[in-house]
Structure 1
Amino acid sequence: MYDVYIGSFLSAMSTGLGAVPILFLQKTIKHRGRDLLLAFSAGIMMAASMRGLIPEALANGNIMKMCIGLILGVLILTILEKNIPHIELEHTKEGIQFDEKALLIISAITLHNLPEGLSVGVSYASEKQDLGHLIALAIGLQNAPEGLLVALFLINQNISRIKAFFIATLTGAIEIVTSLIGFYLTTFVESLVSYGLAFAAGAMLFIIYKELIPESHGDGHELTSTYSFIFGILFMIVLTELF
């Protein structure tokens, strides 16, 4: 049980760890570097979904439960995407105050982090002992560049480096809450494990294709981003095979 507390905390706080460099960077990173980070993160999440969450959802249930859970994950993220006010990391919006900007940015990142935290918690509730560690590692690796990008975006909105660092760190904290919700819900209602794993996979796949891949292709770096995406997949596969 303590594993889920440690795993969810470390994966969530990786967002803040990724934001640490902005305290020392003199200049923001270029679009190419940003796109490479986004694509690499998408590759990590893809490998975690396809090699971890979906196979385990099938092992804990059947093809019908997996399909239902995955589609529900996509539908819920679609509803949240359409109803939670937010702006994407690459966009600026004129004529709004600091508080509104921060709220819109935090809303966007929170939307991304909800299924990520859930996937960690549900994974620790599955019968496969190492799945929780695998998904926590994958989410942590994805959160680090996300934290850096969030902090850089905030700095570009004339927010101080210290404030940007703390806001970026706090955006990851929601993952601890959703992770524990996912863990306890599926622990007490064992039949939900398969649905929960597939739900998390569907939500993550939605984010990969709807958000991360388009954002990484928005500045004319499609080819290098594609390679970065593939290397992200390979990186995660190698880690799972080695450890």
Structure 2
Amino acid sequence: MADAFLGIVISAMATGLGAIPVLILNNVSPRLKSLLLGYASGIMMAATTFSLIPESLKSSDIWVLSIGMLLGTFALNFIHSKTEDLDTSDFKIFSGVDRKTLVIITAITLHNLPEGLSVGVSYGSGEENLGAIIAFAIGLQNAPEGFLVGLYLIHQKMSKVKALMIATFTGAVEIVTAAIGYFLAAEVAGLVPYGLSFAAGAMLFVIYKELIPESQEDHQVKFPTYSFILGLISMLYLTIHFG
């Protein structure tokens, strides 16, 4: 249990670790921002297609995978639609933050909930190394997510320390659902593949709807595309080497 708790905490807090560079950044050029968004998109895509989806299929079938992914996509799409006209002035902590940034932060926070559930259930499933593999994969993609959140917030003139704290929180929520998943694993049969596929669907929504379009917002297409591929290759290498 101690190993599971350590893995859960490290995976969740990787978001905060990824956001630490925002403390030393004074300015990020549009081109660098596009490259970082492309790279983060590649990492998340690889984590989804080479870790979450295969692990879900190992213990289920295409129907379970499809249901879980569609539920994850529907959930994030619902959140997106409900926050389209959200007035950020209602939230003092996000004062001055534009709607798009708030939507991305909300989406990342909420899609971290099923990811935490996936980590917890994987550790509680009793299958050797499954928990460590999923925690590793999710932790790796949590780091650029944290940097992404911090990057968006400092571009909205938020203080660096506050941006770091908010970015850390978006990942820390995983600890709660991971603990729930860990203790439910022995009681709820078949929870692992649904949790993994739900996280995959949610992550794909964020990649397709927010990150890739944002990386090309300044008509920078060629270099972010290469950056996306490099991110995908990097995560694939780590998954193969350590997974």
Q: Is this a same-fold pair by TM over 0.5?
A: yes
The alpha-carbon distance between structure 1 residues 14 and 196, as it changes in their structure 2 partners (threshold 3 A), is closer
Deviations 1:73-96 (A, max 9, x none): 211222222225788xxxxx9978
Other-structure match for 1:124: 123
Other-structure match for 1:239: 238
The alpha-carbon distance between structure 1 residues 94 and 206, as it changes in their structure 2 partners (threshold 3 A), is closer
Structure 1 alignment gaps of length 5 or more: 88-92
Deviations 1:58-86 (A, max 9, x none): 22122222222221221122222222578
CA contact (8 A) 2:89 2:96 kept: no
The alpha-carbon distance between structure 1 residues 100 and 234, as it changes in their structure 2 partners (threshold 3 A), is closer
Other-structure match for 2:31: 32
Other-structure match for 1:70: 69
Q: How much does 1:235 deviate?
A: 1.0
Other-structure match for 2:144: 145
Other-structure match for 1:205: 204
Report the 3-state secondary structure (helix = DSSP H, G, I; strand = E; otherwise coil) of the residue aligned with 2:95: helix
Structure 2 alignment gaps of length 5 or more: none
Other-structure match for 1:161: 160
The percent identity for this pair of structures is 52
Alpha-carbon separation, structure 2, partners of 1:97 and 1:240:
39
CA contact (8 A) 1:86 1:108 kept: no
CA contact (8 A) 2:51 2:137 kept: no
AA paired with 2:93?
Answer: D
Q: How much does 1:190 deviate?
A: 1.8
Report the 3-state secondary structure (helix = DSSP H, G, I; strand = E; otherwise coil) of the residue aligned with 1:190: coil
Other-structure match for 1:174: 173
The alpha-carbon distance between structure 1 residues 13 and 102, as it changes in their structure 2 partners (threshold 3 A), is farther
CA contact (8 A) 1:125 1:193 kept: no
Alpha-carbon separation, structure 2, partners of 1:133 and 1:143:
15
The alpha-carbon distance between structure 1 residues 126 and 95, as it changes in their structure 2 partners (threshold 3 A), is closer
Q: How much does 1:128 deviate?
A: 4.7
The alpha-carbon distance between structure 1 residues 41 and 65, as it changes in their structure 2 partners (threshold 3 A), is same
CA contact (8 A) 1:123 1:197 kept: no
Alpha-carbon separation, structure 2, partners of 1:94 and 1:60:
42
Normalization by structure 1: what TM-score?
A: 0.82
The alpha-carbon distance between structure 1 residues 117 and 215, as it changes in their structure 2 partners (threshold 3 A), is farther
* Residues 61-140 of structure 1: pairs in structure 2 closer than 5 A: 61-84=60-83, 99-101=93-95, 105=102, 106-126=105-125, 128-140=127-139
The alpha-carbon distance between structure 1 residues 29 and 67, as it changes in their structure 2 partners (threshold 3 A), is same
Deviations 1:71-128 (A, max 9, x none): 12211222222225788xxxxx997885343786353542343343334334434565
CA contact (8 A) 1:18 1:146 kept: yes
Alpha-carbon separation, structure 2, partners of 1:97 and 1:124:
36
Other-structure match for 2:3: 3
Alpha-carbon separation, structure 2, partners of 1:80 and 1:95:
18
Other-structure match for 1:90: none
Q: How much does 1:189 deviate?
A: 0.5
Q: How much does 1:207 deviate?
A: 1.6
Which has the higher mean CA deviation after the structures are superposed, 179-188 or 61-70? 179-188
Count of paired positions? 237
